[in-house]
Chain A
Amino acid sequence: MISINPALLLVQAATFLFAILILWRFLWKPLARFMERRTHGIEQDLANAKKSRQQAEELEAQFKARLAQIDEETRGILRRAADESKQLREKMLADAQEEARRLIQNAGRQIETDKRHAIRELRAETVRLAMLIAERALKQSVDQQVQERLVREFVAGLGDDSPGVKPPDAPES
């Protein structure tokens, strides 16, 4: 068992070398290549996953930036809308106040006009009535000339808002 047989030793070495040659060539090499391909595939998948993750992180950063920008824009829009609504409200208020003032002025003018018109009409009516009364009263006693003078005095008295005051030079009726 402990003796060394050179021939046996050489045959054993040759058996071993031949065996690993055949085993590697036909059986182990395909398995090793299969494992290598799978390892390569896994590495590729890992690299792709890493790349996808980086892209996702970049997209996330972009989205976050875009969201921040949108948020800022929204705040700006809201701020502008608030300003515009405030301005619009103030303008509407000012317009309304202006309109009210204008309406009041118009109403005042209209009232003044109507008042003057009424006074004028009233004066004319008064004149007409006075003339009528005077004409009836004087028809019997006063001639036409006296009658007209009386009417003029009366009308002049109305214009001075003191119908009862007679002019100093007016003759006594």
Chain B
Amino acid sequence: MPHIGEAIEYSLKIPTPLLMSWVTVLVLFVLSWLAVRRLRESPGRLQSAFETAFQFVFDLVDSSIGPEGKSYYPLFLGIFFYILVGNLLGLVPGLMSPTANLNTTIALALVIFFSTHFLGIKKQGFFHYLAHFGAGVPVWLKPLMFVIEFISELARPLSLSFRLFGNIMAKEVLLGILAFLVVFMYSAGGVVDTAMTVVPLLLRPLIILLGLLVGFIQAFIFTLLSIVYVGGAVRTHSERSR
């Protein structure tokens, strides 16, 4: 199924994932503006949905980082909403999820990666922060632990980006294959082939529902892991022990 983005990419030379990112941002702007243009004590549906999502993210941050996590609200709200809207964008016919592209997911994971270490160093100081890689083990084990922790830190953005990319890409591919099968079987001409068109036609809405679920779950997982990573970096060893 040809994407609108691919046609624009062909004519305007703008990469489709980037274009879809802009669409995601635009959708977020419009939805956010509609939600907050008239704030009411008894909120409407959209304001209520935004407030629920905000409170959900705030609670996650507060429970993982504590009161000082308030200053990180924008980052995690941004991650959650951007990934959620990006994931759901692929369910709209003709559009694709920006998160179905590895460049987008790696970019997001790198933002989290650098934010984690920047905020950790800012909070604890450079050397103190480095020391936490080998904290809680005997001195002779510290170098080994440092290497393991360092590799673990590098693996985090990889796991974040590939998990999100894999899930959303699989959904996109599955929906594309089902759409292709509908067209292919219907145009094959045989009675059996035409009758078999029903199978992908029935499966596609189910996969879209599954995509909806996966979109929410992946946005939640990415946000939760980001909060855990940042929380682990900004909290000192003693705070973590408590």
Contacts and interface: CB of A to CB of B under 8 A. Distances in A.
B107 A27 contact: no
Interface stretch (A5-13, A78-86, A157-165): A5-13
Given A12-B107, A16-B21, A23 B29 contact: yes
A34 B32 contact: no
A12 B17 contact: yes
Interface residues of B, number: 38
Contacts of A34: 36, 39
A2 B51 contact: no
Interface residues of A, number: 29
A20 B18 contact: no
A154 B85 CA distance: 156
Nearest to B101: A1
A31 B103 contact: no
Interface of B is mostly: helix
B25 interface: yes
Interface stretch (B75-83, B124-132, B184-192, B195-203): B75-83
Interface of A is mostly: helix
Interface string B34-56: 01100101000001001100110
Interface in A8-53: 8-13, 15-17, 19-24, 27-32, 34-35, 38
Interface of B: 15, 17-18, 21-22, 25, 28-29, 32-33, 35-36, 39, 41, 47, 50-51, 54-55, 73-75, 77-78, 81-82, 98, 100-104, 106-108, 110-111, 169
Given A16-B108, A28-B32, A34-B36, 9 more contacts: A8-B17, A8-B18, A12-B108, A13-B107, A16-B21, A16-B78, A19-B78, A21-B74, A31-B36
